[in-house]
């Protein structure tokens, strides 16, 4: 997030830069709901504009699962266990039916209200054999046909430009710039 938002004329800080706050329980039914819940809670606790995201993987053959449960799909929160469960769930599903997307939803909250939101997606399909060392989570199994690569094979800079999170962040930048201009 910091790399993509670095062009904004603001001081960016993360949760590690502010006094400790209770972790927000992500129990929403949608990525949007979870991003908004986190942003509202952390903005209220910190008194600062807060940008929060929620993201995950939606696999069509699995009815959109793992969805909002992506990080804890296996029940352990472990990337390898999550990937093993995903590949097992897709056993017998043909390559053409393994369509999927990464989704990222952002919410910017300040002064007790929602200031901006954004959503980004990247389409691909799930492959059985992991490829690549970059990224995390489902990246080694998420193949992007147009690029003929998995997202784990992309450089961080390339991934920032085309990933679900990168797309969402790039689309919220103009909204933040307008908010900053209206403050002056």
DSSP, collapsed to helix, strand or coil, labels residue 2 as helix
DSSP, collapsed to helix, strand or coil, labels residue 96 as helix
H helices, E strands: number in the chain? 5, 5
List the catalytic residues: 54
The β-bridge partners of 110 are: 113
Neighbour count for residue 174 (Cβ, 10 Å) = 11
Cα–Cα distance between 104 and 11 in angstroms, integer?
23
Q: HSE-up of 69 (CA within 13 Å, CB side)?
A: 13
């Amino acid at each position: 997030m910091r790399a993509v938002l670095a062009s904004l004329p603001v001081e960016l800080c993360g949760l590690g830069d502010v006094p400790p706050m209770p972790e927000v329980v992500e129990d929403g039914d949608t990525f949007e709901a979870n991003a908004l819940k986190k942003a509202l809670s952390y903005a209220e606790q910190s008194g600062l504009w807060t940008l929060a995201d929620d993201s995950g993987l939606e696999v069509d053959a699995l009815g959109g699962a793992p969805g909002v449960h992506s990080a804890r799909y296996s029940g352990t929160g472990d990337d390898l266990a999550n990937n093993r469960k995903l590949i097992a769930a897709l056993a017998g599903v043909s390559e053409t039916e393994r369509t999927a997307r990464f989704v990222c939803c952002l919410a910017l909250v300040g002064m007790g209200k929602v200031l901006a939101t954004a959503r980004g997606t990247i389409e691909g399909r799930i492959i059985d054999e992991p490829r690549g060392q970059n990224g995390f989570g489902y990246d080694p199994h998420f193949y992007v046909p147009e690029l003929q690569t998995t997202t784990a094979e992309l450089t961080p800079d390339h991934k920032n430009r085309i990933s679900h999170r990168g797309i969402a962040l790039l689309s919220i930048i103009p909204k933040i710039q307008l908010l900053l201009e209206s403050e002056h």
